[in-house]
Amino acid sequence: MSKICPIIIVLLLIVIAGGVYKFIFQGAVSGATDGRIAIHLDAGERDLVLAEMRAFLTSVQQITKGISENDMSLVAEYSRKVGKAAQGEVPGTLMGKLPLQFKRLGSGTHAGFDQLALDAEDLGDSQYALSQLSVLMRNCTACHAAYRFDISGQ
């Protein structure tokens, strides 16, 4: 009995480590025919992610409008809408399917929009806001170049 316990413990630790790797680092991914990484989600999860992306696009349009009109309150308002607070709506089951680099890119983008909101209010500098938005848009293009969302089982 005393020799079996350590073996069981080691096996359980291996299973746990595998789960942690899958949930935190790898996600539910495969290579895609277009050279990107396919992230496999169920239809509802895919709809949620795509809705978040549309919210980014709507905010970018309003931020651009605010910058062009030198309306930093509009820039701050729409930046904040897609900041870190917007991440709270993502269920843990979905987060487990996303690869680590995707999560980092998304988290950095949300944080960048929060910083844009703060700087728009504090500095009121439309050129600086435009520069920050340009950096954030690089995150968007990098993500779209690297990933796509496929519905699981299709």
* Residue 29: CB atoms within 10 Å: 16
Handedness of CA 138, 41, 83, 53 (dihedral sign): positive
State the pLDDT confidence band at 10, using cuts at 50, 70 and 90: low
pTM score > 0.85 for this model? no
Tokens of 130: 């435009």
Give the integer Cα–Cα distance in Å for 154 and 145.
21
Residue closest to 144 by CA, chosen among 41, 28, 48, 49: 49
Determine the residue type at 30: S
Q: What is the pLDDT of residue 92?
A: 83
* Per-residue pLDDT tens over the stretch 15-66: 554 454 444 544 678 988 999 999 999 999 999 999 999 999 999 999 999 9
* Per-residue pLDDT tens over the stretch 55-111: 999 999 999 999 999 999 999 999 999 999 887 777 888 888 999 999 999 999 999
Helices 43-68 and 100-123 sit at what angle, rounded to 10 degrees?
30
Q: What is the pLDDT of residue 17?
A: 47
Domain 28-151: which CATH class?
mainly alpha
